[in-house]
Chains A and B, each alone.
Chain A
Amino acid sequence: MNHSTSKTLNLTLKIWRQTGPDQPGALKTYTLTNISTDMSFLEMLDVLNEQLIAKGEEPVAFDHDCREGICGTCGVMINGQAHGPDNATTTCQLHMRKFNDGDTILIEPWRAKAFPIVRDLVVNRSAFDRIIQSGGYVSVNTGGAPDANAIPVPGHMQKDAMAAAACIGCGACVASCKNASAMLFVSAKVTHMANLPQGQAERSKRVLSMVATMDAEQFGNCSNTAECEAACPAGIKLSNIAQMNREYMKALLFSCE
């Protein structure tokens, strides 16, 4: 998609509307005029909602919070791409200058059995919370910040742990995967702690438990297509999934858990 040169856009939106979890949904078409290319994608939706409210119609429900790409709350499929056309970007960080005058933009919610639709573009991602509850933490109090170099951590492991910790749990990996697999999310959480000294005591129990919960939540399997990696706004890599596979098999075959 080319950068637009015009300052304002006239757009046709096709948005998934659904009044409740068990209600039938459908795509509904809206037109918007004079949308500034400086707006973010969510601001464009705000403008639409103001117009809908003025007309006495129900506004489009969508999740959002920080609007600076760190909370992981926003996230919709934009023309079939999780968080839209940009790489390493959340929906709130996407700007309307990425679109052209006259474009039709199709907006759908994340679709996965484990992420049931609440309303319109809002899905219930508590399956992720239950995965975290089953092991995505360290049980003991690790105290305040230790003295520098008191616990030696090799540089590359610190970098890997830090990179994995960047996951914001938005669910774009699940949404973009043809199998609605949560492997990228779970692998980020598993490897984050497996790479640090504080995570060692519960290393085996953690991966066994989190994978069991992931399976119970009915996320799909990994076909190694790398769509999740391309959709991830936080830059989590397929190598995290490989490390989780390694952690899981080591725990399954050789640990006492």
Chain B
Amino acid sequence: MRDFSYLRAASVEEAINAAALPATMLLAGGTTLLDLAKCGVADPERVVDISHLTGLDTIRVDGEGAFIGALAKMSRVAVDAAIQQQFPAVSEALWQAASAQIRNMASIGGNLLQRTRCAYFRDPATFPACNKRSPGSGCSALEGVTRNHAVLGGSDACIATYPGDLAVALTAFDAVVHLGERSVAIDDFFLLPGSTPNREHAMQPGEMITAITIPTSVAARHSTFIKVRDRQSYEFAAASAAVGIAFEADGKTISDIRVALGGVATKPWRARGVEDALRGRAFEPEAVKQASRLAIEGAIDHGANHYKIELAPRVVERAILKTGAMA
């Protein structure tokens, strides 16, 4: 047995204290941790079970925004009527994520922290070189099969794609990740790999996601999430886009637009270039097409993932056109 100690935390405070110890991982839905333990990537010395803690699965929507407890299940958030009404892109992203079984188990906090599907990351026995697993060991993907790897936000150390869908929608609508007393804007929560791809987010040892909030906005209310993938269910995005739009009173001029990309970048990718190009402009298909190309500014491909550079702007364009027609 690979032995580890197991602590069933009695409170958030106890969980946080325990999580401060080295080589400690929190266990919520278990869909990522158990998977990674089986393939030899996760090898914690201590597992702190928080799955049973009460009061952390609240889903509440009011005039200010949405409050989603870290232990709320993906499937419950997806079907929440107020989320569907105020933040349709969030619900749609959850519906299209993972499988029904995983959505029923996985927590919202854990969902944000899911690890990449990079095949080299997930097979340590065959591919010892992985800067994300072992800093400084190299990257097996750079010269390998890169069809699913990132074209945005990569570095010489890592091109692993952030795999999630929900975080893409949250990034579009300026969600905030609450770490107990501290809170971090979601765009700052996820880190670019740079030279430290082992650091994926801004959490410090002893911190734990307790909730996510999403501020209410007209754009969030008029939003959509489009996910393009090889298979129609239970599959990660080849490219995805979360888009929200608000119009001026004339019903034509874009007053607010939010665009974020998934499946193509090392972190949930806010496409501010697209937003800046369209904000204040009239909603018009040719302008949308032109602006959508800005989504992949700075993209670098590694051969097999070149198609993502072609695909991502088309997904953005489709999502903007669809959202604009609804708004």
The answer to whether A and B interact is: no
